[in-house]
Structure 1
Amino acid sequence: MRATFMYGAGDVRIDTVPDPVLQQPTDALLRVVAACVCGSDLHPYHSMPAGEASPMGHEFIGVVEETGSEVSTVRTGDLVIAPFAWSDGTCEFCREGLQTSCLHGGFWAGDGIGGGQAEAIRVPLADGTLVKAPVGEDSELLPGLLTLSDVYGTGHHAAKTAGVERGDTVVVIGDGAVGLMAVLSARRLGAERIVLMGRHKSRTDLGIEFGATDVVAERGEEGIAKVRELTGGHGARRVLEAVGHMPAYEQAVGVVRPGGVISRVGVPQYSEAPVGFGSLFGPNITLTGGPAPARAYIEELMPHVLDGTVQPGKVFDRTVDLDGVPDAYRAMDRREALKVLIRP
């Protein structure tokens, strides 16, 4: 089969590798029908040292081709959604809805598991990981369902951990796909005012379609002042940080009101962040977030995708086949594409 590998910063290639095979009775084999490039894939694209090839891709849906003898929840021919972390569904953390901390699980393209930007993949712990979708692989809903593997679940996680509720004022920092999904999720949870901090008009226009009421293009102190002006001088009670870089975190600290919550779901590209008296402790600000347990949210969010209540698939603005994946990385890195759908 053919699959995507990264060999170093800026070096993405499509290689031919052996087809995956069942290794455990709890495995399933999938033929990948849709995958995508994640904004977090751009972090190694910028900084990965040259060396051993790393498989890429953690967002995908596929058709079950074969199952191990102990798999009971899916069967051959099912279209299934794979969240970006695989999990057993039975350990104490899975039972608490925290599958990203599963005692026996792991993450795609790591832990010796292949990536989803490929023609096929082996899924460990299939019963705990995969969720059947009640449509066929030719459904026009595939882009929206694909967002449930990560980006929509991550935006929802940001809003949920921040405690967004009806009538709230929310600030979303970042106009990438996760930020736009955070806007969509905050609106779905009832937020009355949603300020989107982003400066790319095509993206912020989609953010407005998803529910943003205000857009702030300014950054740094200027952006913080603008948000505070829009929020009566005190800042917002809920702030969703969807970037992962220190300037975004500093903006979050600058726009959150005393007693408010900052939820970080952008993968942090820094090791330290201010949490002391002058930043979070003094004004009683809560810091939360983390990697979204997407598996916990799929059944909750999928009905709204199926009935068209929400259309998260609109974040995909380009589609490529496997040969086009290296160009997809370049396009997203250059901000020429928001999020690229892959059809192997």
Structure 2
Amino acid sequence: MRAAVMFGAGDVQVRQVPDARLVQPTDAVVRVTHAAICGSDLWRYRKMPPSTAGVRIGHEFIGVVEEVGAEVTAVRRGDLVLAPFKWSDGTCEICRDGLPNCCPNGGFWGGELDGGQGEAVRVPQADGTLMPLPMDPDDPRLPAVLALSDVLCTGHHAALAARVRPGATVAVVGDGAVGLCGVLAAARLGAERIVILGRHARRTDLARRFGAVEVVPERGAAAVERVRELTGGHGAHAVLECVGTGEALRDALDMARPGGAVGYVGVPQDGDGVDVRRFYRRNVTLAGGTAPARAHAPELLPDVLSGRLDASAVFDRTVGLDDVPDGYRAMAGREALKVLVRP
């Protein structure tokens, strides 16, 4: 079968790889119908050292079950399913606590395993991982559903961690797909006023469509000061940090009001920490981390299917599998926000 393989910074190729197949009785094989390139894939695309073996890539996909192992009971051949960005058993103590992303028997797609940017994927722990969808493979709502594999659940996780509530003022740091989904999530939870920090007009225009009422293009101390000006000098009740750099996290903490909260979901990139004295005296809460997408997706799916929660507009370019390298170049060059892949 064909799949996208990354061989180093800026080097993505579509290659013939071994066919996805059952290895364990808890496995399923899924033929991919919809996949995506994620902003987090770009960090590796920009920095990965050269590799002769390459790594498989892609962690967001929808597909049709083609085979199931002898112990799989939750899905069957022919089912349309959503895969979250991590696989998990769904039965261990950590999964039962609502953190399937931390499952000790789980893991990430890609690397030595099949990645979502390919024709098919072997899915370990299929019963705990895959979510059946009450739809046909040609349903036009599937791009909106695909967002539940990562970015929409991640934006929702940021909003929950930041304690967004009805009437709250929310600042969203980052105008990528996760930040934009954070705007959607905050609006769904009843935020009264949402401010997006970004300087790319196409993205901030979309943020306004999703519910933002103000745009702050400044960065650093100037951005913090602007958010404070917009909030009567106090800062935001809730701040969603959707970038992943130390600078973005420090700015997010500085723009939270006393008693406010910061939800951080940006994949950490530079290792720069924060001085707790920066927010200790203001009683600001810091929470977040990797989103438990498999736990959030069932709650959000009804609103996605009804159209109340529609993130499909973050996909502003569609490519076939052979054109995945061009999709990476487009996202890295900010010619595209998020690329939808149709193998």
TM-score range, shorter chain: over 0.9
The reply on whether 1:300 has 2:295 as its aligned counterpart is no
Name 1:72's counterpart in structure 2.
73
- Cα offsets for 1:88-125 (capped at 9, x unmatched): 00111100110111021111114x42110000000000
Name 2:324's counterpart in structure 1.
325
Q: Do the aligned partners of 1:275 and 1:281 also contact (CA within 8 Å) in 2?
A: no
1:332 Cα deviation (Å)?
Answer: 0.5
Matches within 5 A, 1:189-204: 189-204=189-204
Output the CA distance in 1 between the equivalents of 2:94 and 2:126. Answer: 17
- Structure 1 unmatched ranges of 5 or more: none
Q: How much identity, in percent, do the aligned residues show?
A: 59
1:319 Cα deviation (Å)?
Answer: 0.1
The reply on whether 1:127 has 2:98 as its aligned counterpart is no
1:247 Cα deviation (Å)?
Answer: 2.4
1:165 Cα deviation (Å)?
Answer: 0.8
Name 1:274's counterpart in structure 2.
274
Output the CA distance in 2 between the equivalents of 1:151 and 1:165. Answer: 20
Name 2:4's counterpart in structure 1.
4
Match for 1:316: what amino acid? F
Output the CA distance in 2 between the equivalents of 1:99 and 1:215. Answer: 35
Matches within 5 A, 1:65-214: 65-110=66-111, 112-214=112-214
1:273 Cα deviation (Å)?
Answer: 1.4
Match for 1:80: what amino acid? V
1:29 Cα deviation (Å)?
Answer: 0.3
Output the CA distance in 2 between the equivalents of 1:209 and 1:11. Answer: 35
- Cα offsets for 1:149-188 (capped at 9, x unmatched): 0010000000011111111111000000000000000000
1:256 Cα deviation (Å)?
Answer: 1.0
Match for 1:209: what amino acid? R
1:311 Cα deviation (Å)?
Answer: 1.2
The secondary structure found in structure 2 opposite 1:4 is: strand
Q: Do the aligned partners of 1:99 and 1:295 also contact (CA within 8 Å) in 2?
A: yes
1:246 Cα deviation (Å)?
Answer: 2.3
Output the CA distance in 1 between the equivalents of 2:273 and 2:212. Answer: 27
1:235 Cα deviation (Å)?
Answer: 0.6
The reply on whether 1:337 has 2:333 as its aligned counterpart is no
Please identify, of 255-264 and 140-149, the stretch whose mean Cα deviation from structure 2 is larger. Answer: 255-264
Match for 1:315: what amino acid? V
1:227 Cα deviation (Å)?
Answer: 0.7
- Cα offsets for 1:293-338 (capped at 9, x unmatched): 0000111011111111121111100000011111111110111100
Output the CA distance in 2 between the equivalents of 1:139 and 1:213. Answer: 32
Number of aligned residues? 342
Name 1:291's counterpart in structure 2.
290
Match for 1:4: what amino acid? A
The secondary structure found in structure 2 opposite 1:317 is: strand
The reply on whether 1:38 has 2:76 as its aligned counterpart is no
The reply on whether 1:316 has 2:286 as its aligned counterpart is no
The secondary structure found in structure 2 opposite 1:29 is: strand
Q: Do the aligned partners of 2:318 and 2:339 also contact (CA within 8 Å) in 1?
A: yes
Q: Do the aligned partners of 2:198 and 2:216 also contact (CA within 8 Å) in 1?
A: yes
Output the CA distance in 1 between the equivalents of 2:102 and 2:113. Answer: 17
The secondary structure found in structure 2 opposite 1:342 is: strand
1:193 Cα deviation (Å)?
Answer: 0.6
Please identify, of 216-225 and 34-43, the stretch whose mean Cα deviation from structure 2 is larger. Answer: 216-225
Output the CA distance in 1 between the equivalents of 2:68 and 2:5. Answer: 26
Q: Do the aligned partners of 1:198 and 1:215 also contact (CA within 8 Å) in 2?
A: yes
1:280 Cα deviation (Å)?
Answer: 2.0
Match for 1:342: what amino acid? V
- Cα offsets for 1:274-299 (capped at 9, x unmatched): 1321x122222111111100000111
Match for 2:324: what amino acid? V
Match for 1:289: what amino acid? G
Name 2:55's counterpart in structure 1.
54
Output the CA distance in 2 between the equivalents of 1:161 and 1:246. Answer: 18
1:251 Cα deviation (Å)?
Answer: 1.7
1:82 Cα deviation (Å)?
Answer: 0.2
Name 1:224's counterpart in structure 2.
224
TM-score by length of 2: 0.98
**After the TM superposition, which parts of structure 1 deviate over 2 Å for at least 4 consecutive aligned residues?**
none
Output the CA distance in 2 between the equivalents of 1:341 and 1:95. Answer: 32
